[in-house]
Structure 1
């Protein structure tokens, strides 16, 4: 019996996974539109990789078809989703290159389709429990993998989701901090909620690449050059954590 694929989802700075072997591209048709994925193996483990922003980072965060993406992963048989989010730090103690394994979120988005359930389906109106939005067991896999390769990862963190594609104002970041946020980004929601609705286990590794607006030296604007430089320094550490997680899974499944 073929094991279900592990789903990996990533955005800025992670548009490709060089470690994947036996690569095969597929466009998955869903009721919400098409989703482009890459099938492959990593340490002989079946993996399906989805780049949120599409080929060449061509789709801005507010236009990502999150429903199609998550539905495609579920339709392909994935049960577990490990996501990578690139973020700005709301917590002033966080610096570019720091990593967090998220455990909660606050949603400041305004116009995205947030659910698979619009009330018209046979299930009627659905209210999804998100008291534990990020799966504890999958989070533990990320933290254990990070410890095994010696990469520090904060255990827990609150993700503030903003609409984008503009960066947040200083006032918005102050509001997020009052709400308990540690990092701010543009892609983590509704992805985590949709995964929950689809019955998928979901966990996210957040990479800090810049101080959010008003955090630190407020006189310095956020630039893509700054973000890309932080990504260049930190991408290897993120990939090392993913590699160890996949290797551990492959070893376990090979023994079972």
Structure 2
């Protein structure tokens, strides 16, 4: 039986997973445009890796072709997706380097295509349920992988997605916090809802890299130097969680394929 590939999507600071073997680059053409992906193997499991911002971080968050990206993963046979989002901390208890496994989101974007079902497709208008936008089973896998890898992670968090590419104002962050947001980012929506529309089981790891605007005692501008420094010291934690998740999947799948003991 051919294993369906695991989809991994990442953005700022995660342009190469490092552990993929036998990699090939492929452009996947969809009805919504082209998506560039890396095909490879990790612990013997097929993986499709997609970096949202393209080569050299050339695509800003509001211009990422989220529909093409998700459709490409689905067309390649992906069923499960683990995404990585680099975020600013809205909850004052969060510090740079902290990890969360998200369980809900707020959408403050304004101009992105947000659905496959815009009335022009054969399916017509479709209303997709997102009571649990981050799949409980994949979330559990990520949490268990983090525990096994010895990486502390918060179980749950609300992601507030803003349009970008500018950072948020103090007032926008205050509004998001009043609405219950824990972290702010620019790429998690509509990616998560498109995955639901495509029937993919999707979970996301949030890596906090800075306090959001006006959060905490410091009131300094957010800089890419600050973000890059946290990424340099904390990206390994995210990769360790992903490595453990894939390794566990490989072990369980191998046991399933071997069948019951005689």
| TM-score between the two structures when normalised by the length of structure 2 | 0.97
> 1:101 and 1:31 mapped to 2: Cα distance?
31
Which structure 1 segments of 5+ residues have no match?
Answer: none
Residue of structure 2 in register with 1:129 after alignment = 129
Shift in Å, 1:121: 2.2
Look up the SS of the partner of 1:39 in the other structure: strand
> 2:159 and 2:11 mapped to 1: Cα distance?
15
Mapping of 1:1-256 within 5 angstroms? Answer: 1-256=1-256
Q: What do you get for the CA RMSD once the two structures are aligned?
A: 0.7
Shift in Å, 1:142: 0.2
Shift in Å, 1:216: 1.4
Bigger shift: residues 119-128 or 184-193: 119-128
> 1:219 and 1:152 mapped to 2: Cα distance?
27
> 1:31 and 1:119 mapped to 2: Cα distance?
14
Look up the SS of the partner of 2:4 in the other structure: coil
> 1:242 and 1:19 mapped to 2: Cα distance?
10
Residue of structure 1 in register with 2:260 after alignment = none
Q: Give the count of matched residue pairs.
A: 256
Shift in Å, 1:112: 0.3
| TM-score between the two structures when normalised by the length of structure 1 | 0.99
Deviations 1:200-248 (A, max 9, x none): 0000000000000000135310000000001011011110000000000
Look up the SS of the partner of 1:116 in the other structure: coil
> 2:231 and 2:122 mapped to 1: Cα distance?
44
Deviations 1:164-206 (A, max 9, x none): 0000000000000011000000000000000000000000000
* 2:213/2:219 contact within 8 Å kept: no
> 1:61 and 1:125 mapped to 2: Cα distance?
26
Look up the SS of the partner of 1:82 in the other structure: strand
